[in-house]
Structure 1
Amino acid sequence: MKKKINNFSRGITKRSDLPAAHAMLYATGMKEYDFCKAQIGIVSNWYEGNPCNMHLDKLAKKIKLSIITKDLMGFQFTTIGISDGITMGTSGMRYSLPSRELIADSIESVIDSHHYDGVIAIPGCDKNMPGVMIALLRLNRPSIIVYGGSISSGYYNGNKLDIVSSFEALGKKNTSKITEEEYKNIIKNSCPGPGACGGMYTANTMASALEAMGMMLPYSSSSPSTSKHKQIECKKVSIYIKKLLEIGIKPKDIVTKSSIENGIKLAISLGGSTNLVLHFLAIAKSANINFSLKDIQRISNQTPVIGNLKPSGSFLMEDIHMHIGGMPIIIKYLLNEGVLSGDCLTVTGKTLFENMKNVPNIIFNQKIIYPLDKPIKKNGHIKILYGNISPDGCVAKITGKEGTIFRGEANVFNSEEEANQAILNNQILPGVVIVIRYVGPIGGPGMPEMLKPTSYIMGSGLGKKVALITDGRFSGGSHGFVVGHITPEAQSGGLIALIKNKDFIKIDTEKNTITLEVNDEEIQRRKKLWNPPSLKVNKGYLYKYTKIVSSASEGCITDQF
């Protein structure tokens, strides 16, 4: 007897007491014989205003056509996305991280309310990936993620460009390293078409991790947005969603503590974004898996960095596709070397090890991926630091190029804008620790990324001469001696709120400590004098967000109550 795979949709299509619902389904184009078919929600983060997302509707349409050939019903819908690149350094960036929750909530709302049997999600930009993953875990019905793919590199004067090239160009122009004309040409040529930002920034970090976790088909994370491989993937995905429906494999069968560790290990080995910390804490919470900052530090300690990828390295995701052969070649290498666990289930219905059987072995005649016995860094670049500045933990991104210990006088700013102006006006002296505060989940609100100040620092030639700490977070494109996610945040009365100019701060990533070198008596005196500033917003979504968001050390989740 053929197994029923319309386990959820039959709650509408097979009920005789829902004539209006049936009438509306007929209006969508369904025929009577379609009422016995499984229904798949095909959700993309499509919108025209961002290159990361502007092509996703085309991919969704190809997937729907493929779905129909497998005797399934596919219903397209879209959810939101926020362009980090466009909003960066503006008040709009406050919505970026909170959009993760809106994405998850909206997908959960549509799929659950309409009783769809499965989900195919097509994310593009940074928060899209964790947003859809959180939703799929809440829903826990057969699901596959199809990554929109990364952008092609731009070119100017024989140099490869990407989005961070344009950010750093301003710092270079400001210090007369490039002309106004060169500056404009870099901007015009940095982003040549559709796809997510090309380096191992947040979008590609999360896509790589989700592939290693088993929630994407092999090669999804590394197939560029405009490649024929991405088109083929859109056709193949219908085979696997039907298989998942028939076997009954759900996201919580795939997302386990072991598979989460696989995802984080791959991302760290490639030099991925610090945002993976926030997102994996939230993903684990949605999967009901006990997972904390200490787990991330343990994994980072065990994982060498072998990816020579931007922002700290030289190459882009397209280079993994063109010169390595795709992400599965790297995954297979890490499996064979015992870094990853091969017995985790994936969306193919097979284990990660089984998926890699026919994948070619890596060849080390290139400079993109290094062998484990000659790594770029012997352990991970992500460090979880503790100390009086951050008793609940904070996140440092230390590749080794910038050193491992930094001690300097504090140069304190109560907003990103103030810090940006000081950097661009050449007011930052070598040897200082820049402090940007009141930009946390509540104080920001929304914990905006500090890509502008880090890019200006790098562009101004201060990358190895200053450190930056913040209760905000960093873009995957940020590099330098940077520490973010400081908790408790300034708005909640964390010690970062009490730091004064000229105080000495020591950051030691060998001992994993961050210390304000001020005695306890003086700290207590300052604490008595401190009063929290008024919230920056008093209405709308961001105001609601400030009332329910958890701290960065807990993943900035909003469903913890």
Structure 2
Amino acid sequence: MTDDKRRRYSAPVVDGIGKAPSRAMLRAVGFTDGDFDKPQVGIASTWSQVTPCNVHINGLAEHAARGADQAGGKSVIFNTITVSDGIANGTEGMKYSLVSREVIADSLETVAGCQGFDGLVAVGGCDKNMPGCLIGLARLNRPSVFVYGGTILPGQGHTDLISVFEAVGAHAKGDLSLIEVKQVEEVAVPGPGSCGGMYTANTMASAIEALGMSLPGSSAQNAVSEEKAADCEAAGAAVLKLLEADIKPRDIMTREAFENAITVVIALGGSTNAVLHLIAMAHTVDVPLTLDDFTRIGQRVPVLADLRPSGHYMMSELVAIGGIQPLMKTLLEADLLHGGCLTVTGETLAENLAKVAPYPDQQNIIHALDKPIKATSHLRILRGNLAPDGAVAKITGKEGTFFRGRARVFASEEEATAGIMDGTVVAGEVLVIRYEGPRGGPGMREMLTPTSAIMGRGLGQDVALITDGRFSGGSHGFVVGHITPEAQLGGPIALVEDGDEIVIDAEADTIELRIPEAELRARRDAWRAPPPRYTRGVLSKYAKAVSSASLGAVTDGD
């Protein structure tokens, strides 16, 4: 057996006379005599024709494999799944979206653990690819690098996928004809890459770079570009250096690194899904991270990026001025980041940022620290008698920070969407969408279809929406999700009735149901849990295993 510490996992699979059958199998997939003495680098590809986010990733995986091979390793490409939130949104199929995060993590761990890969590169494009890959890499704790598949380019007329969702709402209001909606549909998604604003994919890519698990610049590159191909090759080579130095994910994914990720997400005005995913990722490496950490960090970190959905610009426009590296350097110099955190370069965050140039003078995308878009975080953790275990709001300030209204209650996303589109929902109401939590849905669907319908119908300033489900990174408006405990578990959101007064205060961080306590107790005594919506298959298994959204909706125990 070898004493090469870089081959601690592959050597038991291929070394010695007893492993001749293993070597015979590997020769059939391209191994030669010399390859058996090299560290094996698994390249986890999320390629699929399912979605434009991932349709190009087969080529990126090949670049990563080339980088690993040229650096002295032996690459092996394997696949994991992806699903498309953008395609499935508003349908029953969307219940599988958050589940896919767990399937990706499980499959990556399963293949690498079985095959004995010494190190890994994971290439992901769509929302759940990123946290799924990171959870899998963290469980294995072998030298690893994550590569983001890159952002899509803007559609004609500065459009993107959210433009299409909102066009549907505008048609329901009568502002757009069917022909005009089709015209937006035809041009808004022009090719490969993840959704173009600071939606969940770009948010999580940025968070992972700030965490130190991607090479500098990986989060801000166009999907089809020389820079992205080079990033993949560099990632393959970087794994060999990490193997030599024995640097593993748990060395990088520390408490301070997660605080860096939260800071960058806030500064970018990122998706509420980052709360869910970062807590889940931290859980995997035994780093205590809670909703309260987002509040604590958010009190001192401003929103600086004027990016969609609440802002104007797209990720490709941020790419053109330097990506997130100059922003991170600004935050570091303001003592808002931990510069001593180790990264996949083998150097610290501060060392990586030392030679980064500032943004060009003539740019309006990233605001100066002394002229923020919002002085504190847009991610508000709310508590009150409607969400005793917490809820996550996305309040940029453009929607206001206070809402008082009468409840309009729906038991599913479909019912709510129909109510918005047919005019049932009116100004001054708080839409309550329940039984959409991790266990009740099951799967905690995103509410992109109803939030887009609200915006399209011109109600963005006039109604609020609360749910035990979650939101797309493309959602905007006065929205509160992740309400816990969820309705399926008898949380207070299950007890709301039409006409109840609800008060949401994003300055005091409270969410209250204004009814007498005696009435609330009576409703609780009368409440009975509805039967599970699924009793077989993956959704049933997920519902039985999943934890609360406030704990990251993990499935491997609390």
The normalised TM-score by structure 1 is: 0.98
Q: Distance in 1 between matches of 2:33 and 2:219?
A: 38
Q: Does 1:472 align with 2:473?
A: no
Written as runs of structure 1 = structure 2, the 5 A alignment for 1:247-326 is 247-322=245-320, 324-326=321-323
Structure 1 position 341 matched with structure 2 position 342: no
SS at match of 2:389: coil
| 1:138 matched to 2:139 | yes
| Separation in 2, partners of 1:39, 1:537 | 41
Amino acid at match of 1:217: L
**What residue is the counterpart of 2:55 in the other structure?**
54
Establish whether residue 412 from structure 1 lines up as the match of residue 412 from structure 2. Answer: no
Partner SS state of residue 145, structure 2: strand
Q: Distance in 2 between matches of 1:340 and 1:117?
A: 31
**SS of 1:476's equivalent?**
coil
Cα shift readout 1:197-253 (whole Å, capped 9, x = no counterpart) = 010000000000111111111111001101111111122223311110101110111
Query: Does the 8 Å CA contact 1:218/1:327 hold for their aligned counterparts?
Result: no
Aligned to 1:512: 509
Among 358, 371, 375, the residue aligned to 2:368: 371
Answer yes or no: is the 8 Å Cα contact 1:364–1:371 preserved in 2.
no
Counterpart of 1:489 (choices 486, 489, 493) is 486
> Does the residue aligned with 2:512 lie in a helix, a strand or coil?
strand
Give the letter aligned to residue 477 of structure 2.
G
Secondary structure, counterpart of 2:238 in structure 1: helix
Q: 3-state DSSP class of the match of 1:392?
A: strand
Residue 15 (structure 1) shift: 3.7
Find the aligned partners of 2:78 and 2:27 in 1 and give their Cα distance. 18
* Cα displacement (A) at 1:395: 0.4
The more displaced of 222-231 and 234-243 is 234-243
**In the alignment, is the contact (CA less than 8 A) between 1:143 and 1:251 conserved in 2?**
yes
Match of residue 394, structure 1, among 375, 383, 391? 391
TM superposition shift of 1:66:
2.4
Residues 330-359 of structure 1, C-alpha deviations (whole Å, 9 max, x = no match)? 111211222111111111111111111221
1:469 deviates by 0.3
CA distance in 2, matches of 1:515, 1:69: 59
Contact 1:364 1:370 in 2 (8 A): no
Counterpart code for 2:396: T
For the residues of structure 1 that align with 2:393 and 2:35, how far apart are their CA atoms?
53
Structure 2 match to 1:549? 546
Aligned 1:147-296 pairs, distance under 5 A: 147-155=148-156, 159-296=157-294
- Bigger Cα displacement from structure 2, 258-267 vs 20-29: 20-29
C-alpha distance in structure 2 between counterparts of 1:265 and 1:212, whole Å: 9
Which string of whole-angstrom CA distances, capped at 9 and with x for unpartnered residues, describes residues 438-458 of structure 1? 000011110000000000001
> In structure 2, how many angstroms separate the alpha carbons of the residues matched to 1:312 and 1:486?
22
Tell me how far apart the structure 2 counterparts of residues 63 and 356 of structure 1 sit (CA, whole Å). Answer: 24
CA displacement at 1:364 relative to structure 2: 4.2
Question: Matched residues in 2 for 1:45 and 1:239: separation?
Answer: 20
Distance 2:240 2:366 in 1: 35
Matched to 2:102, the amino acid is E
Q: SS of the residue aligned with 2:125? A: coil
Report the residue type matching 2:229 in the other structure: Q
Q: Which runs of 5+ in 1 are unaligned?
A: none
SS of 2:148's equivalent in the other structure is: coil
Superposition deviation, residue 2 in structure 1: 10
Say if 1:466 and 1:115 are closer, same or farther in 2 by CA, change over 3 A: same
- Is 1:32 equivalent to 2:41 in the alignment? no
Structure 1 residue 536 corresponds to structure 2 residue 537: no
TM-score scaled by length of structure 2: 0.98
Distance in 1 (CA, whole Å) between partners of 2:119 and 2:304 is: 36
Q: Supply the distance in 2 between the matched residues of 1:404 and 1:363 (Cα, whole angstroms).
A: 33
Secondary structure of 1:344 counterpart: coil
Distance 2:21 2:233 in 1: 34
Output the aligned Cα RMSD: 1.2
Letter in 2 for 1:508: D
How far apart are the structure 1 equivalents of 2:167 and 2:505? 30
The 3-state SS of whatever aligns with 1:348 is coil
Q: Where in structure 1 do 4 or more consecutive aligned residues deviate above 3 Å?
A: 1-4
Deviations 1:466-515 (A, max 9, x none): 00000000000000000000011111111111100000000011111111
Asked if 2 retains the 8 angstrom alpha-carbon contact of 1:201 and 1:475, the reply is yes
